């Protein structure tokens, strides 16, 4: 079966956020409710609540002009809820990655949302991603990822958890109808021992084409089971606009 190479894969892979060391703190003693500035390293500075010379409470750390974290701290590490922003440029394209959600032990742990945009030199958005769900030790473990890019097909929809993996490529005009009529470019579905795939493109081999149509029939049958995922894909898809040429 024809595999769809989608440019959004690089976008999804690039959403991994790397934890950054925040340096060694000078020994000081302050009440946690006080706000003050700390110089943590040559590039890192902090302003917020401090206790025993470390961020404790709420405050903001900045690593130069490109990265920042604003949120809750416990004994010098990110703990609670907060927002991380990382902006960088690669070959003239500007990447902006944002994570907003729960933190534990200085890593993304718990519920959160990642947003990422890629802009070209003219400032137009070429790719836009949203990811919502459960994170564990900085790794996205469960939830939804929706990407739109200036590509064909334009949209990538994904849901994953410990039991289910669902990947769709296609359009977002009417996701439920597209599922029912087989208009998606590609559907990949894995749940337990079930592993099925459908492509809108006809197969040259007759046996493979029969299998392709059988998988489409199966997907139509299980639509009530996946309706929640399809509705969420529809909702998230309007949050990732791109700039048309």
Greatest distance between any 2 Cα atoms in the chain: 76
* CA dist 104 → 38, 73, 88, 108, 220 (Å): 22, 9, 25, 6, 41
Query: Among the residues of the chain, which ranges form H helices?
Result: 8-13, 175-181, 206-221, 223-237
212: pLDDT strictly greater than 90: yes
Question: pLDDT tier at 34 (50, 70, 90 boundaries)?
Answer: confident
Q: Is the pLDDT of residue 191 over 90?
A: yes
Q: Using one digit for the tens of pLDDT, what is the confidence trace for 129-141?
A: 999 999 999 999 9
Residue (of 95, 112, 91) closest to 103 by Cα position: 112
In the block, which residue shows the tokens 């892979």? 13
Per-residue pLDDT averaged across 112-132, rounded?
97
SS3 218: helix
Q: Is 175 left (phi over 0), alpha (psi -120 to 50) or beta?
A: alpha
Distance CA 206, CA 223 (A): 26
Please list, in sequence order, all residues whose beta carbon lies within 8 angstroms of the beta carbon of residue 213, skipping any fewer than 6 positions away.
Answer: none
pLDDT at 94 over 90: yes
Answer yes or no: is pLDDT of 128 > 70: yes
CA distance 225 to 232: 13
Q: Decide if pLDDT at 51 tops 70.
A: yes
Could you say which DSSP state residue 76 is in? T
Residue pair 133/111 in contact by the 8 Å Cβ criterion: yes
> Residue 156: CA atoms inside 13 Å, Cβ hemisphere, count?
21
Q: Is 186 exposed, middle or buried (0-12, 13-18, 19+ CB in 10 A)?
A: buried
Residue 4: DSSP 8-state: P
* 63: Cα within 13 Å, side-chain hemisphere: 15
Prediction pTM value? 0.85
Residues 18-33 pLDDT 10s? 333 333 233 344 445 6
């Amino acid at each position: 079966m024809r595999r769809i190479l989608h440019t959004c894969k690089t976008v999804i892979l690039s959403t991994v956020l790397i934890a950054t060391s925040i340096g060694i703190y000078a020994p000081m003693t302050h009440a946690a409710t006080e706000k003050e500035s700390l110089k943590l390293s040559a590039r890192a500075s902090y302003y917020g609540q401090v206790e025993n010379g470390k961020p404790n409470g709420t405050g903001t750390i900045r690593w130069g002009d490109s990265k920042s974290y604003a949120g809750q701290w416990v004994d010098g590490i990110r703990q609670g809820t907060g927002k991380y922003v990382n902006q960088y440029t690669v070959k003239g394209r500007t990447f902006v990655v944002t994570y907003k959600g729960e933190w534990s032990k200085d890593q993304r742990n718990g519920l959160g949302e990642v947003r990422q945009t890629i802009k070209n030199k003219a400032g137009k958005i070429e790719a836009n991603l949203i990811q919502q769900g459960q994170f564990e030790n900085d790794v996205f473990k469960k939830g939804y990822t929706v990407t739109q890019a200036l590509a064909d097909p334009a949209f990538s929809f994904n849901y994953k958890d410990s039991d289910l993996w669902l990947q769709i490529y296609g359009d977002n005009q009417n996701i439920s109808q597209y599922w029912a009529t087989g208009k998606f470019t590609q559907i990949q579905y894995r749940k337990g021992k079930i592993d099925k795939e459908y492509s809108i493109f006809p197969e040259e081999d007759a046996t493979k084409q029969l299998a392709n149509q059988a998988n489409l029939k199966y997907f139509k049958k299980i639509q009530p089971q996946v309706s929640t995922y399809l509705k969420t894909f529809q909702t998230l898809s309007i949050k990732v606009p791109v700039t048309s040429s």
